Amino acid sequence: MRESNRSHKLSALILGASLCLGAVSFTGSAFAQGANLESATAEQKSTAQKAFIAGAKAAEKGDHEAALASFRESYGAVASPNSHLMVARELVALNRLEEAYVEFDNTIPEAEAAAKVDAKYEQAATAAQKERDDLAAKLALLTLNVSGTAPGDVVKVRGKEIPQSDWSKPLPVMPGMVRVELVQASGKETVKEINAEAGSAPTIDLAPEVAAPPPPPKDEGTKVSTDSSKWDMRTWSYVAGGVGAAGIVTFGVFGLLNNSKHSKLEDECKNGVCPSSLESDKNTGQTYQTVANVGLVVGIVGLGTGTALYLLSDKKKEKSALSTVPRVDIGPRSVSVSGTF
């Protein structure tokens, strides 16, 4: 009884092979597509029928690799929705579900176009649609929203390059972690990952990453540097003169303050004897006197040095830019100028 059932099933497949060579042409295929029935030669039809029968026998024996090769050979000789449908079924038998989904999906419009001419192909269209939908429950249909790409950019899903024409189509993928890559022509990669579940329809937005702008430079403040080696003798004469002028001003101010204290002490001290309440005024007056004297010395030396440098700057020029620059040192009781002129 079992052998009889197998024989009937094989006979049905062979009959399908004869019917599939009966009438019409169609479009769409993921692999080599043969001649349409209107233009196929007798030899092409014979080749297609023999390959279909060989595929049916191999499938009956469970040799699905051989069956797949034979059904593809048949489809490559004369295009038929029936042979295309058998290709998809053999891919399912080989557990190549992602490929099978694509072939079922491509068979549907082929069979529908053929059925407009010959109604017997409606069965192939209905079967392909049902088996595709059943298979969708075992897969995830991934949609890619790709934007911002340039010529030469490549999209890969689980390491497999996806043709640009398929970027906007739902892509069948096995459940699990899915790695999607956008590889720019420059070699820079943008990677997204998603955990796809069976029966789901996830979407991934994919666009080249925009480089972040560089951080603004740190504000270290305005730095002002002065190279004193570029100062000439005339400049130093002004510096010395300024120091001298400051000394004279100091002498004048503290001299007046000292005179004020001195006058007060003369008025209130009798016969050189001052009350104890004026002791602090006496000490302050002495301090004013000392500061005034130092200011006078600094003023005289500073003005004298400035004058000398000013006069020398008119008579001599510096021999080189590397000559030693005059240096003015101001002490509590002296002012000195050193350098090479």
Same domain, 43 and 90: yes
Task: Please tell me the predicted confidence (pLDDT) of residue 200.
Answer: 96
Stronger pLDDT, 288 or 62, i.e. the higher one = 62
CA distance 96 to 31: 15
> Would the pTM of this model clear 0.75, i.e. be above it?
no
Lowest mean pLDDT among 57-61, 135-139, 273-277: 273-277
Same domain, 48 and 164: no
170: CATH = 2.60.40
Tens of pLDDT, residues 309-320: 677 766 655 454
Going from the C-alpha of 328 to that of each of 187, 192, 291, 298, 334, the distances in angstroms are: 66, 72, 20, 11, 11
Residue 40 burial (CB count, 10 A):
20
Q: Is the pLDDT of residue 150 over 90?
A: yes
Find the mean pLDDT for residues 227-242.
66
Are residues 108 and 154 located together in one domain of the fold? no
Q: How far, CA to CA in Å, does 78 sit from each of 11, 17, 36, 52?
A: 20, 11, 6, 10
Domain count, the chain: 3
Domain extent at residue 324: 230-338
- Contact predicate 107/116, CB 8 Å: no
Instruction: Please say if the pLDDT value at position 101 is more than 90.
Output: yes
Least trusted range by pLDDT, from 13-17, 134-138, 175-179 = 13-17
What value does the mean pLDDT take over residues 270-296?
69
Domain boundary among 77, 101, 136: 136
Contact 104, 130 (CB under 8 A): no
Examine the domain organization and report whether 131 and 173 are in the same domain. no
- Give me 295's structure tokens: 């200011």
What's residue 143's pLDDT? 95
Is 215 inside any structural domain? no
pLDDT surpassing 60 at residue 222? no
Amino acid at 230: K
Indicate whether 86 pLDDT > 70.
yes
Q: Which residues pair with 155 in a beta bridge?
A: 162, 182
177 and 96 share one domain: no
Percent of all residues in the chain with a pLDDT value above 70, rounded to a whole number: 65
Phi, psi torsion values for 216, nearest 5 degrees: -65, 150
| The pLDDT of residue 7 | 47
Looking at the domain assignment, is residue 79 inside a domain? Answer: yes
For residues 285-304, average pLDDT: 74
pLDDT higher for 149 or 333? 149
